[in-house]
Amino acid sequence: MSENTKTATLYRMVMEDHLCPYGLKSKDLLERNGFTVDDHHLSTREETDAFKEKHGVKTTPQTFIDGERIGGYDDLAEYFGKSVKGEDETTYQPVIAIFSVAALMAVAVTWLTMGQVLAGQTLAWFISISMVLLGLQKLQDLESFATMFLNYDLLAQRWVRWGYIYPFIETGAGLLMMAGVLTFISAPAALFAAGIGAVSVFKAVYIDKRELKCACVGGGSNVPLGFVSLTENLMMIGMALWMLTKALV
C-alpha cells in the first residue's frame, strides 16, 4: 500500500430491513476526500448494540481515522470543513429553488408558445408560475402553514379560517393568470390576498421588528420573514394590477 494512501475505518448499519443512509453518506464523503474505506457492516441489532456499548456511543455510523474516533456523519462533515445545517437554522434555499425553477419554466413556456427565449409575457408567466409553486408548498401541509401564518398575518389573526383559504387563492389565481382567463376573478382575489399579506409582513418585520419564520414556502419553512415574503406579495400585487389594466384597456 502506498504511503500516501489515506485510510479510514467506518462502522455502519447494513441490515436486511435497514440500510443506514448516514452510513452511505459517510462512506461517500470519505471516498470523495481521497480515503480508502475499511467498511465494517453492523448486520444485526445485537451487533450494533454491542458496538455502541464498546465505544460508548449512542448512534451509528462511526468513523475512525488514524485510530481516532471522528464520530457520526455530522462530525465527519465538520472534520472536512463542511457546514451541516441544523433543523432550526434559517435558510433561503427553498425560495431560491422555487424561483429558479419558476424562471426556467417561464422560459420553457415562452419557447414553446413563441419560439423565443424571452418575451414580454415571460415575466408574467414567471410570476404566475411562482404563485402556483408557492401555493403548492403551502397545500402540502395546510395545517402547519395555517398555524405559522397566524404569527403575523393580520386577517388570519382576526379570522383563523383565512389561513386555510389563502393557499387556494394563491394557487388558483396563479393558474388562472397562467392561462389568461377569468381575469376579473383571479386578479381581484390575488390583489386582496397579497395586499393584506404585504401589510402584515411590513408591520411584523419593519414596524414591530419581530424575528419570525416565513410561511411562504409552507409550514415547515426555516425561511426568515422579511424581504422575500414582502417580494412574494408585491409580485402578486403587480401581476394583479397589470392584468386588470390589460383587461380594461
What tens digit of pLDDT does each residue of 150-194 get?
999 999 999 999 999 999 999 999 999 999 999 999 999 999 999
Place 3 in a pLDDT band, splitting at 50, 70 and 90. low
Across 48-53, average pLDDT: 95
- Per-residue pLDDT, 5: 75
Across 18-27, average pLDDT: 94
pTM over 0.75: yes
Amino acid at the residue 60:
T
Q: Same domain, yes or no, for 117 and 60?
A: no
- Per-residue pLDDT, 31: 95
Q: Same domain, yes or no, for 123 and 213?
A: yes
Closest by CA position to 97, among listed 218, 188, 191, 213: 218
pLDDT for 116 beyond 70: yes
Q: Same domain, yes or no, for 66 and 134?
A: no
Q: How far apart are the first and last CA of the chain?
A: 79
Q: Same domain, yes or no, for 40 and 131?
A: no
**Cis peptide leading into 167, omega within 30 of 0?**
no
- Per-residue pLDDT, 215: 87
Share of the chain above pLDDT 90, in %: 78
CA separation for the pair 168, 103 (Å, rounded): 22
Contact 221, 87 (CB under 8 A): no
pLDDT for 223 beyond 90: no
pLDDT for 106 beyond 80: yes
- Per-residue pLDDT, 1: 45
Place 88 in a pLDDT band, splitting at 50, 70 and 90. low
Domain, as residue range, for 145:
93-248
Q: Same domain, yes or no, for 208 and 112?
A: yes
Domain C-terminal end among 22, 44, 79: 79
Place 103 in a pLDDT band, splitting at 50, 70 and 90. very high
